[in-house]
Each structure stands twice: as C-alpha cells, then as structure tokens.
Amino acid sequence: MSIKKVAIYCRKSREADDKTTASIDGQANSLIELCEKRGYVYDLYSETGSSQEWDRPEFQKLLSKIKHYEYDAIVCTEQSRLTRNTKHYEEVKEIMIKSGCVLVTPTSMTDYTNEDQMFSGDIIALIEKREWQTTRKRLMRGSRESAKKGNWMGKKVPFGYQYNRDTKNLEIVPEDAQIIVHMFNEYVSGKSTTTIAYDFNNQGITTMQWSSSSVARMIANVAYAGHSSYGRTKQYKQDGKRITERTSTEDQILIKDAHEPIVPQELFDKAQRIRNERNTRPPALKLGRHKFSGLVRCGLCNGIHSFQTAHGMKRITSCQTRTYLDNETYSTCTNGGIYVKDFEILFHEYFAQYIDQLEQYIHLLSNDDTQNFDEEINRKEKQIEKLRKDIKRVQQGFVMEIFSQEEARDQIASFKEQIAILEDQIESMKAENNMSEHDKVSARLDNMRRFLTHGDNIPEREANEILRDFIDTIIYTKNGNEIELKIIIKD
C-alpha cells in the first residue's frame, strides 16, 4: 500500500527502565529520521504514561484522527509503545483495520487486515504482556529488598516524618510527632475522627486543614508504628474515571521495623482494635447534609452528633461516644437523641433570645470604635505565599518522581483549597477593615433576623452554609426529658 501521511507516536513509562526503553527524544529522533528517509509526511505525538492506561491524552487524540482517516500509518519504535494491555490492543487493532491504517516500526510493517501479519502482531502482544508482567515482578522484588534495608519506598512522606535523601530513610520531626501521638491518645480515649479534626482545626494545630478522613487515614497508617507498607492498592482508568482497588496479599509489601516509630506498638494496636470495632457497627441510615450538619455537639462528652431517619422522620441520634478505660473496657455517653423538628423549635427559641440580647448590645455601641486588620491580613498573605511555594515543591517532586501523579494532584488541590479559604478571609477582612464594631454587629444582626424569619423556605444545604457563617457550634444536652442548648456564636 502507498503510505504518505503518518503519525509518529512516542511514549515512555515513568516506571520504565532507562536502560531498556529509549527516551522520548531518542525515540522521536530515530523515527523522524526514518520518516524523512522514506518520504513520509508526519505529525508527532509524544507523552509519558503507562502502557496499561487507555486514557492517555496524546494517544486518544491520535486514535481520534485515525478514525477520521487522517493517517495511513502509525510509526513507533515497537508495538508495545501503543499498549501492553491485550484488551486495549484488540481495540487499537480494530480501529486500525476499519481505517485502513498500518503499523510501521524501524524493522517491520504490520497490516492487520493480513491474517499472517495480524497473527504475528497478536503473538508480539502476548509476549510483550508477559515481559511487562516479568518487569513488574522484578520491580516488586527490588522494592521489597530495598525496603528490607530500611529504605523508604513510598511516594508521599507521612506527616510527622521527613525524608533523608542521604540515608533514604524516614526521620522523625519532633514537633509534628507530638501531634500524631496526641491524635492517637485522643482516639483511644473514645473521640471520633470527626471530633479530633474539629478540635485540631479550632486549636490551630499546623496550617493544614484537618478532616475526619485525613485523621482516619493517619490512625490506620502502619508507618507511625515504624513499619512500611506498599502496594496495598492499585489504580487504573475506566471510562475516563480513575478506579482504586485493593491488591491481593501477594502483591503487597509489609516491612516491619523499617524506621523509628512515632507511636508505640501497643498504642497503635489498641487504636486498630477500636477502629475495627467501630467499622463493624451496623450502618446508620444517615441523612445527607442538612440545616444543622456538623454543628451539634454533645454537652456531656463534646462529641459531634450524627443524624439519621427513624420511622420516616429526621432525628439527631443519641451520642453513644465510647470512652476507653485502661483495662480496655469502655463506658458509653448517655446523652439522648431528639427529633429534628423538636430540636428546631427549641433552637429558634434560644436563637431568638440571643438576637434580642444582641439588639440590646448594639444600642450601647458607638460608631467610633473601629478595628484594623492590617497585621492579620499580612499574616494570611504570608501563609498564602508559603502554600504557593508548597505547590511548586510538590510539582518539582512529581518531576523528580517523589510523588505519583495522583498524589501530586491531591496535595496541590488541598493547597489550592487552603489558599481559596485564606483569600476569602482576606477579602472579608478588607471589607470590614476600619468598619466600626457597631456596623459589623448590625450587619450580622440583619443576617440573623433574615434566617429566623425565612429559614424554613431556604434549601437545607444553603441553610447550613448560612448558619455556619455565624454559629461555631450548638452544644446539646438531654437529661431525661430536660433539654438544654447553648449556641456558640463565632467571633
């Protein structure tokens, strides 16, 4: 067949061995020379990505153009540059057959409409899959042996440690390690991950934003007991979505006593027993986010109350937070539950009382008392500057292969979220800068009145966001039939 216009495709896996796979520039130079020698008109596609991934951007762009009959051939150094996944290979082959496109390498040309050539291509695909599996096993063995020597093989360094490039091991950061030990002690005392995250955020522990899920991940991380665990999950893309699955036991690596522990083994084991016990409880019929989500705290143990449906009605659950004793038995918080409709009536009564007090207070204020936020704005701007440097550090870490693409994306997204929060706070401070206390209280009072008057007509999620603007928490205590609320307003 006559070949005129071709697509050069170059790919290198980040995990590939440099000694066995030519660099992208090396592939491109040799293939361009081949095309020019044969008189092909070419377009160049190149990228870094795994042979197992289907959704590689340049690869998909190339296939799209082949479907539109824009190329007579794909030119690459070997068939495996396209894919080593047998399922994906069949899809590529089908596209090329329908489009009359052939595969050209420096040593051969494969026309998949020819049965003999297609058979040869199929054999090559099977061999290359076998080679990929062998390479993967060799990398696993190498990782295991390196980890046994105490080398840190993970991508992301756990909070509380720092990576020493000379020793290739983790070293404890004393001030951060104290936070981790405190977290574990709080957890085994009976506090939930949600409560711990709430307390840490309120106490301003580090500049990071704590969440229930981040605390839960740290509690489960064997690194804090001095062990290293790798390969517990695998990721792949399916229909454009990244899928995470737990791997089989034989694919996982656990190296005990790989580095200095932050948390004593006894404390770590106790936390895992409590964690497993909590995870095996029957799942509650939890509600989605609603008006009082994340705001109601127990007046007896300071835990955060959850919500569920009971007999078709929304209900604040009884607390039942467990406090673990030294003998590993526990006591359960006795704070009772309440239907949301009854809680809401009581909340409105207390809230209306607070608004009345605020109206009396505002008459005592003068318009002359102003507040300057310049120093606080300057401090937050420095925090933003540091976070932006952290983003660059992660980006450099990705280039140096310290972080995977997924880890780098997650960390950068977290930093950007923190920057957005700080920028909103700065904008709010600038708006309030040099405002009198009288003006600020008046503005807040207007919002509170609007909520009290029109709150029932506002969607649940939006109502929750409005409440969070001026309420820090609602402390709820039920003793028998007596119910007491204490509304803590934000400063």
- Give the pTM: 0.45
Which helix (DSSP H) or strand (DSSP E) does residue 34 occupy?
helix 24-38
Q: Which residues are 296's β-sheet partners?
A: 474
Q: Please report the pLDDT score of residue 181 as a whole number.
A: 94
Distances (CA, A) of 24 to 15, 31, 44, 367, 487: 14, 11, 11, 68, 62
Question: Domain 161-280, what fold?
Answer: Hect, E3 ligase catalytic domain fold (3.90.1750)
353: tokens are: 């009382």
- What pLDDT does 19 receive? 46
pLDDT for the residue 475: 92
pLDDT digits (tens, 9 = 90+) for 11-62: 987 644 444 556 888 889 999 999 999 999 999 999 988 888 888 899 999 9
By CB atoms closer than 10 A (0-12, 13-18, 19+), residue 288 is: exposed
CA dihedral 399, 405, 411, 414 (to 10 degrees): 130
What's the rounded Cα separation, in Å, for the pair 408 and 397? 8
3-class secondary-structure state, position 182:
helix
Q: In whole angstroms, what is the distance from residue 142 CA to residue 247 CA? A: 18
Number of other residues whose CB lies within 10 A of the CB of residue 112: 21
- Taking CB atoms within 8 Å and a gap of at least 24, the contacts of 453-459 are 455/291
Kindly give, in sequence order, each residue whose CB lies less than 8 Å from that of residue 405, ignoring residues fewer than 6 positions away: 398
Pick the CATH number of 5-146 from 2.40.50.140, 3.40.50.1390, 3.20.20.150, 3.30.70.20: 3.40.50.1390
For the chain, which residues make up each domain, given as ranges?
5-146, 161-280, 342-489
Q: What region, left, alpha or beta, does residue 142 occupy, with left being phi > 0 and alpha being psi -120 to 50 degrees?
A: alpha
From first to last of its 491 residues, the chain has per-residue pLDDT tens of 689 999 999 998 764 444 455 688 888 999 999 999 999 999 999 998 888 888 889 999 999 999 999 999 999 998 888 988 888 888 999 999 999 999 999 988 999 888 888 877 777 767 666 665 666 666 556 666 666 666 776 667 889 999 888 888 889 999 999 999 999 999 988 888 878 888 888 888 876 778 888 898 899 999 999 988 876 776 665 665 667 777 776 667 778 888 899 999 999 999 998 888 776 544 444 445 678 888 898 998 888 888 887 777 888 888 877 776 666 677 888 888 898 888 988 888 888 888 887 777 766 655 445 456 778 888 888 889 888 888 887 777 666 656 666 777 777 888 888 888 888 888 877 766 655 666 666 777 777 777 777 767 777 777 888 788 888 889 999 988 889 999 888 76
d(CA 441, CA 369): 12
CA distance 272 to 219: 8
pLDDT at 457: 75
Length of the chain: 491
The DSSP string of 384-442 is HHHHHHHHHHHHHHHHTTSS-HHHHHHHHHHHHHHHHHHHHHHHHHHHHTT-BHHHHHH
Say what the pLDDT of residue 142 is.
62
Q: H or E element: which one contains 314?
A: strand 313-316
Amino acid at 145: E
Q: Among 297, 316, 332, 336, which Cα is nearest to 190's?
A: 332
HSE, CB side, 13 Å, CA atoms: give it for residue 328: 9
CB contact at 8 A, 104 and 137:
no
Q: What are the tokens at 110?
A: 């494969």
